[in-house]
């Protein structure tokens, strides 16, 4: 792979041949800094995750592969000199969720904060080189029952953010709540929740048995009924309270990989989870693809995260463009830089497909890391 410094050599070679190729423009100013990163990996191990994927693997195996890729992206950012995450403290947690676990949290704590990447990879069944080693995989990671997404997400929010009253009073702080980097200066912590799943809520009890339970809304993300599980879980993740809608500066980023068999046709309740839908009339209607896109896509957009549907291939690869080619022209040059600068500093949004073009590393933001990819491949594909 070409290094950034070799761009000069390529430019000189083309100049000798009578073709002029300018160096890449200087990098834009850095985005606001963070002090550390907390990452929670939340894996769906409900019964339907045993279903097959077009790759020949089960959906759970695909989810584990994607979780490992997600960890690698965090580690690559940690090790990338010049990036905002460069050697910033990085803590991990690994949880699984399913109705067979505790009726108060619906999660199993495989690894808790402050876990390391190596520990989490080991429990996922991979080694430090990201090669699968099934013998080390946690026995918890086996598809079993139903999908208490609201209950599990609610409990995760209490750890990542906090548990607050509807008026913002502190019930219990989350991990590193109000941490200071120096006396009187609050640390800027990027908190990331990664969810790998194949469906929506179907088994969390209604309040007061669980504060995030509720009926299923069919409305838009910003218009979810106050009594719906979507509104409760959204509010809990953003504010620490399921009924509080004033967003706190929690620094939360929600990234979701949703696994389908081979192509997106909707979400169906399989025989492995049918029993769950009889628990409450609130879940008697089959959830739709539109509801999934509205909730997961809205939550990811709202928190500067990334929502992907994993469909065609086990690794999610559906894009064959040249690295650094923002505008899909076949070569990497000034037009790509111009396109990237239009969206620099912005989060990827489903409302603007061009932000997906400019997000070259797929982390949900158009930032310095994407510029580095552009500069590294400057001039690839010829003059343009």
At 73-89, the pLDDT tens digits run 999 999 998 788 999 99
pLDDT at 254: 93
Residue carrying structure tokens 């949900």: 364
Sole residue written with tokens 């489903």: 350
Joined tokens for residue 302: 């709202």
Fold of domain 36-310: Rossmann fold (3.40.50)
Q: Between these two residues, 36 and 330, which has the higher pLDDT value?
A: 36
Write the pLDDT tens digit of every residue in 119-152: 999 999 999 999 999 999 999 999 998 889 999 9
**Tokens linked to 118:** 């190596």
Residue 210: cis peptide before it, omega within 30 degrees of 0:
no
Which of 148-162, 315-329, 337-351 shows the highest mean pLDDT?
148-162
Longest Cα separation, the chain: 75
Residue 328: HSE in the Cβ half-sphere, 13 Å Cα cutoff = 7
More confident residue, 297 or 144: 144
CB within 8 Å of 299: residues ≥ 6 apart: 221, 234, 237, 254, 256, 305, 307
As its CATH architecture, domain 319-384 has Orthogonal Bundle (1.10)
19-28, 51-60, 179-188, 344-353: least confident range: 19-28
**pTM for the structure as a whole:** 0.73
- The residues pairing with 309 across neighbouring beta strands, listed in sequence order, are 258
Please name the residues in contact with 182: beta carbons below 8 A apart, sequence gap of 6 or more.
none
Q: Residue 274 and residue 202: Cα distance in Å, rounded?
A: 10
Nearest residue to 84 via CA among 9, 213, 206, 189: 189
Ranked by mean pLDDT, the top range of 63-72, 242-251, 371-380 is: 63-72
Percentage of the chain modeled with pLDDT above 90: 42
C-alpha 274: how far from chain center: 28
Asked if residues 89 and 36 have their Cβ atoms less than 8 Å apart, the reply is yes
Rounded CA gap, 228 and 95, in Å? 24
To the nearest whole number, what is the mean pLDDT of the chain? 81
Instruction: Name the pLDDT band for 368 (thresholds 50, 70, 90).
Output: confident
> What per-residue confidence (pLDDT) applies to 103?
79
Asked if pLDDT for residue 196 goes beyond 60, the answer is yes
| Torsion of Cα atoms, 136 then 156 then 192 then 89, to 10° | -70
Instruction: Give the mean model confidence (pLDDT) for residues 309-335.
Output: 65
pLDDT band at 164 (very low <50, low <70, confident <90, very high): very high
> 326: number of CA atoms within 13 Å, CB side?
24
Stretch 172-189: mean pLDDT, rounded?
Answer: 90
CA distance 341 to 59: 37
Distance from chain centroid for Cα 369? 17
Every domain of the chain and the residues it spans: 36-310, 319-384
Question: Where does the pLDDT of residue 25 fall: very low under 50, low under 70, confident under 90, or very high at 90 and above?
Answer: low
CB atoms within 10 A of CB 72: 14
Question: Which of 97, 99, 100 has its CA nearest to residue 41?
Answer: 97
Residue 313: pLDDT above 80?
no
Does residue 15 have a pLDDT over 80? no
Residue 277's pLDDT is what?
41
- The pLDDT assigned to 22 comes to 56
């Amino acid at each position: 792979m070409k290094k950034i410094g070799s761009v000069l050599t390529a430019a000189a070679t083309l100049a000798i041949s009578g073709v002029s190729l300018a160096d890449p423009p200087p990098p834009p100013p850095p985005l606001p800094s963070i002090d550390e990163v907390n990452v929670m990996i939340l894996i769906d191990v409900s019964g339907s995750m045993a279903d097959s994927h077009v790759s020949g693997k089960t959906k759970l195996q695909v989810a584990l592969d994607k979780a490992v890729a997600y960890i690698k992206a965090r580690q690559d950012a940690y090790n990338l000199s010049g990036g905002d995450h460069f050697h910033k403290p990085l803590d991990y947690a690994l949880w699984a969720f399913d109705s067979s676990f505790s009726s108060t949290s619906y999660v199993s704590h495989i690894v808790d904060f402050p876990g390391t990447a190596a520990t989490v990879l080991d429990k996922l069944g991979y080694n430090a080189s990201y090669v699968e080693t099934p013998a080390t995989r946690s026995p918890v990671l086996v598809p079993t029952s139903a999908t208490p997404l609201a209950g599990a997400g609610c409990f995760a929010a209490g750890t990542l953010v906090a548990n607050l009253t509807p008026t913002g009073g502190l019930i219990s702080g989350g991990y590193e709540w109000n941490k200071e980097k120096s006396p009187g200066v609050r640390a800027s912590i990027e908190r990331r929740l990664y969810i790998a799943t194949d469906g929506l809520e179907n088994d969390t009890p209604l309040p007061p048995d669980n504060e995030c339970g509720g009926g299923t809304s069919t409305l838009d993300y910003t218009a979810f009924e106050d009594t719906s599980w979507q509104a409760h879980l959204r509010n809990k993740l953003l504010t620490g309270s399921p009924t509080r809608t004033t967003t706190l500066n929690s620094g939360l980023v929600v990234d979701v990989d949703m696994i389908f068999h081979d192509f997106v046709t909707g979400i169906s309740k399989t025989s492995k989870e049918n029993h769950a839908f009889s628990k409450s009339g609130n879940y008697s209607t089959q959830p739709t693809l539109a509801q999934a896109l509205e909730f997961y896509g809205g939550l990811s957009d709202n928190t500067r995260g990334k929502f992907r549907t994993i469909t065609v291939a086990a690794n999610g690869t559906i894009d064959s463009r040249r690295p650094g080619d923002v505008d899909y022209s076949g070569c990497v040059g000034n037009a790509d830089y111009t396109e990237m600068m239009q969206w620099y500093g912005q989060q990827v949004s489903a409302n603007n497909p061009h932000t997906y073009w400019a997000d070259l590393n797929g982390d949900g933001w158009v930032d310095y890391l994407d510029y580095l990819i552009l500069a590294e491949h400057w001039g690839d594909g010829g003059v343009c």
